[in-house]
Amino acid sequence: MGKADNIIRLLLVEESVEDAEHVISVIRNSGMAVRPSRATDGEEVSSLLAEQGVDLVLVSPNLQSSKLKVVVEAIDKSGKDIVPLQLLDSLSADNLADALRQGARDVIPRALPDILQMIVKREFENLQARRGLRRLEASLRESERRCHSLLDSSRDPIAYVHDGMHVYANRAYLEIFGFEDFEEIEGTPMLEFIGPKHADEMKTVLRQISKGEKPPE
């Protein structure tokens, strides 16, 4: 992970420049690197989300509660994995429930800087983990695509069998048995393709392979 990946791109929805700078200072005091930007309404939020990368959005308690809903809607429309957080001057069951109902990932009492730091750190780490997982999934899909492409182009008949069932077969394998498409044999037991004379021998081979043993030559 590069150094830039550890910088929190933070969007503060806050009318007061002074209050926004205070929040940024609190986060930086914990040792986290922050690249801040500021918006004052939903239109600016939508514009900034489209123009630049954003990791977390902190919504000021000074704004009307409806602003949080507008921010969450803007995030949803962007299609990006961005975390909305609501700052509150005072925490009660009602305003906590209201913020969560409108889509806040969490609620942070502004008077508790330690809580602010911990939640921002946690949500950023969770965000990085999700992005890392998506990169791994994309890499896996690409590896599988290349593997299938290589197997499909092979002139040797190749099949992948799991628990005795066909889960993959290349074109050469299908042609041996006179099939046009893999869907015709998907999930079919391999033993159905083996003559009765050799069925017991094949069962033994499959058991050995499933145990990680080397099959007989």
CA distance 132 to 96: 31
pLDDT tens figures, 148-178: 899 989 999 999 888 888 999 999 999 999 9
pLDDT tens figures, 99-138: 999 999 999 998 999 999 999 999 999 999 999 999 999 9
Q: What is the pTM of this model?
A: 0.75
CA distance 112 to 98: 20
Question: In the structure, what pLDDT confidence band is assigned to residue 216 with cuts at 50, 70 and 90?
Answer: low
Please state the φ and ψ torsions of residue 46, each to the nearest 5 degrees.
-60, -40
Q: Are 152 and 171 contacting, i.e. CB atoms less than 8 angstroms apart?
A: yes
Q: Are 159 and 168 contacting, i.e. CB atoms less than 8 angstroms apart?
A: yes
Question: In the structure, what pLDDT confidence band is assigned to residue 210 with cuts at 50, 70 and 90?
Answer: confident
